[in-house]
């Protein structure tokens, strides 16, 4: 019996990896910068008590803050990127540990900054801006502090909150989860109908659950879930700590709930979250219909979770990386030559993308970077239409980062998570529309529909379901109720049962462990933003594709805005109002149209 194995990281061709040398030429250069940033931390601390002296002292303090944080974040990002593509690389893991520690020290050293600025008084700050025009760039930042005023604590309390973040910062928890799920979890291989073994790993599970062989899909899905079930108590312990951390921050900063603590700093009303959940629950029958049509199209008597991404056709289109880049560039052409040229260079000569499938590579895909660096995309490209979609998604993030970092000063260069998923889903919507219009082969059209439904399944079905789970689990911890692996899995199973209805065969334990399979669950109230992101993205793409005057220019301005405005204001300026349930309703209408098209093609 043969077995296909993943390549070692050392065997991966350079052109399939990202250009980390664009940040630091060597690990030794990284070490020098790491030591330099540590040595500069006392320079920030010297300004404690001096921010309120006068406008010039405030400006100098803020400039010193940035001079330390910019290289400090580059140190942290470089280490995190290197560790993510080979979790077995102990030297990279050690550097990432140093990077996390440095980040915690930077935060602790600057904990006094915001309380001192707020103590100046916002009327006084306005006068200081008039006295010192160079402070004008911080006006929106000062307004953000004003709105957060009731929740920023005295300096000594802020220092304690920052110190608490040292042993349990979000990135450190995510790193622990990553080490467990990417390095320590061992998966039994998938078995094909003819007995061939296929290695199950975080970089291969996506291609295995879309495999044409049902036995491959079944054994891959079951073995993947079973490994998580073997570690369910450890995973539940990590997840509980994360929720308790969120509740601690909520109470320390005197918010009414963890949800409010997550949304209010970005001026996002809680109604935005609840609108999404309400519209999602109302539209669950669309999903029930899709499961039924897909079962009939596959000719199965019983439909399982591992059939959700089963290819309808005997063969699926092969999409090499180079072809995917070209199609994405053509799909994004309405945004202009500059956008396309930067993106194409990023995918090729500038090596933004680490696309290799190798042993030890962490699960999923992401775009990351820091002020002063190029964007970096981690994914496992599998020469199929799903990989094309993932690449388009992550390029949306990367182009957002490229524009915001070039257009904004450091203080506004990092956009909020709420708008992040708009840019990524926008790229997918534009690329998908281009392919629907230009490649009219019915087989490829069906593959496109399957990709679109797979994308919506992840972001408009799984993520809203996990958002419901996240809200309920936080409520339970806030009320002092006990939580465990069993209660986490029981709640997950209950919510997914509602989504699957009687159309999908129900495996309580394997479906119930879904909460443990997404690193996104360690970033408080992040997952709902995938669904709001799809909603906002479809609305903005509709304007560009219809040729609406100024729509493309407004979208580029949206990318350039960074965090220089509040997220909802940025989106409203671009042309979509996310305080209304209408964009979510329209996104479900798009989903329903895909189901209609799917039914027509398979009939």
Q: From CA 590, how far away is CA 600, in angstroms rounded?
A: 15
- Burial classification of residue 15, based on how many CB atoms lie within 10 Å of its CB (0-12 exposed, 13-18 middle, 19 or more buried): exposed
State the DSSP H helix or E strand holding residue 368, giving kind and residue range, or none if neither: strand 366-368
Taking each helix axis as running N to C, give the angle between helix 284-298 and helix 582-602, from 0 to 180 degrees, rounded to the nearest 10.
20
CA distance 259 to 241: 17
Tokens of 41: 């931390």
Nearest to 434 by CA among 522, 340, 504: 340
* Chain position carrying tokens 């306005």: 126
Beta bridge partners of 197: 3, 191
Q: How far apart (Å, rounded) are the C-alpha atoms in residues 60 and 327?
A: 48
Would you please indicate which residues are annotated as catalytic (active-site) residues?
394
> For the purposes of burial, counting CB atoms within 10 Å of the CB of 63, is it exposed (0-12), middle (13-18) or buried (19 or more)?
exposed
Asked if residue 473 lies in contact with residue 488, where contact means CB atoms within 8 angstroms, the answer is yes
Instruction: Give the three-state DSSP class for 258.
Output: helix
- 3-class secondary-structure state, position 376: strand
Tokens 């534009």, residue located: 430
Report d(CA 6, CA 392) in Å as an integer: 24
Measure the CA–CA gap between 332 and 541, rounded to whole angstroms: 10
DSSP states of 436-488: HHH---HHHHHHHHHHHHHHHHIIIIIHHHHHHHHHHHHHHHHTT----HHHH
Phi, psi values for residue 552, rounded to 5°: -65, -45
Phi, psi (rounded to 5 degrees) for 23: -95, -60
The answer to whether 378 and 18 have CB atoms below 8 angstroms apart is: yes
435 close to 327: Cβ distance less than 8 angstroms = yes
Q: Residue 168 has which token pair?
A: 């349990």
Taking CA atoms, 526 is separated from 282, 389, 567, in Å, by 22, 21, 14
Query: What phi-psi label fits residue 361: left (phi over 0), alpha (psi between -120 and 50 degrees) or beta?
Result: beta
Distance of CA 236 to the CA centre of its chain: 21
Contact between 61 and 138 under an 8 Å Cβ cutoff? The reply is no
Task: Please state, in angstroms and rounded to a whole number, the distance separating the CA atoms of residues 231 and 516.
Answer: 10
């Amino acid at each position: 019996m043969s077995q296909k194995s993943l390549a070692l990281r050392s065997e991966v061709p350079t052109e399939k990896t990202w250009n980390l040398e664009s940040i630091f030429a060597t690990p030794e250069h990284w070490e020098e910068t790491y030591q330099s940033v540590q040595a500069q931390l006392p320079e920030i601390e010297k300004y404690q008590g001096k921010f309120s002296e006068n406008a010039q002292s405030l400006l100098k303090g803020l400039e010193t803050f940035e001079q330390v944080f910019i290289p400090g974040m580059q140190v942290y990002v470089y280490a995190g990127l290197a560790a993510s593509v080979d979790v077995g690389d102990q030297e990279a893991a050690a550097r990432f540990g140093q990077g996390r520690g440095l980040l915690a020290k930077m935060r602790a050293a600057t904990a006094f900054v915001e309380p001192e600025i707020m103590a100046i008084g916002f009327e006084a700050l306005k006068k200081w801006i008039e006295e010192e025009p160079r402070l004008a760039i911080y006006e929106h930042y000062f307004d953000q502090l004003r709105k957060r005023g009731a929740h920023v604590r005295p300096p000594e309390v802020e220092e304690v909150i920052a110190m608490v973040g040292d042993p349990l910062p979000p990135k450190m928890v995510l790193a622990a989860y990553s080490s467990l799920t990417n390095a320590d979890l061992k998966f039994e291989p998938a078995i094909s109908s003819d007995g061939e073994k296929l290695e199950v790993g975080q970089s291969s599970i996506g291609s295995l659950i879309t495999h044409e062989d049902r036995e491959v899909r079944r054994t891959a899905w079951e073995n993947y879930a079973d490994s998580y079930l073997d570690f369910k108590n450890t995973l539940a312990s990590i997840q509980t700590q994360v929720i308790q951390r969120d509740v601690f921050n909520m109470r320390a900063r005197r918010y009414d709930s963890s949800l409010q603590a997550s949304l209010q700093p970005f001026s996002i009303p809680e109604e935005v979250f609840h609108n999404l959940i309400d519209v999602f629950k109302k539209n669950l029958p669309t999903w029930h219909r899709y499961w039924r049509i897909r079962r009939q199209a596959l000719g199965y008597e019983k439909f399982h979770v591992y059939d959700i991404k089963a290819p309808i056709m005997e063969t699926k289109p092969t999409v090499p990386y180079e072809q995917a880049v070209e199609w994405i560039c053509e799909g994004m052409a309405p945004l202009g030559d500059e956008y396309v040229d930067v993106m194409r260079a990023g995918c090729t000569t500038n090596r933004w993308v680490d696309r290799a499938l190798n042993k030890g590579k962490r699960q999923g895909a992401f775009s990351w970077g820091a002020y002063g660096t190029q964007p970096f995309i981690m994914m496992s490209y599998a020469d199929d239409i799903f990989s094309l979609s993932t690449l388009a998604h992550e390029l949306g993030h990367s182009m957002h980062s490229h524009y915001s970092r070039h257009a904004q000063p450091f203080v506004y260069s990092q956009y909020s998570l709420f708008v992040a998923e708009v840019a990524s889903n926008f790229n997918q919507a534009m690329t998908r529309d281009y392919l629907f219009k230009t490649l009219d082969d019915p087989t490829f059209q069906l593959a496109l529909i399957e990709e679109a439904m797979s994308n919506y399944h992840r972001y408009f079905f799984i993520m809203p379901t996990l958002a419901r789970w996240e809200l309920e689990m936080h409520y339970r911890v806030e009320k002092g109720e006990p939580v465990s692996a069993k209660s986490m899995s029981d709640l997950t199973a209950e919510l997914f049962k509602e989504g699957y209805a009687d159309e999908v065969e129900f495996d309580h334990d394997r479906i119930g462990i879904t909460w443990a399979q997404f690193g996104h669950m360690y970033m408080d109230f992040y997952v709902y933003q995938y669904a709001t992101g799809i909603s906002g993205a479809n609305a903005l793409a509709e304007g560009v594709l219809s040729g609406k005057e100024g729509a493309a220019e407004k979208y580029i301005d949206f990318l350039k805005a960074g965090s220089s405005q509040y997220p909802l204001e940025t989106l409203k300026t671009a042309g979509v109002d996310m305080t209304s349930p209408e964009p979510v309703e329209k996104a479900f209408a798009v989903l329903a149209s895909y189901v209609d098209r799917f039914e027509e093609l398979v009939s």
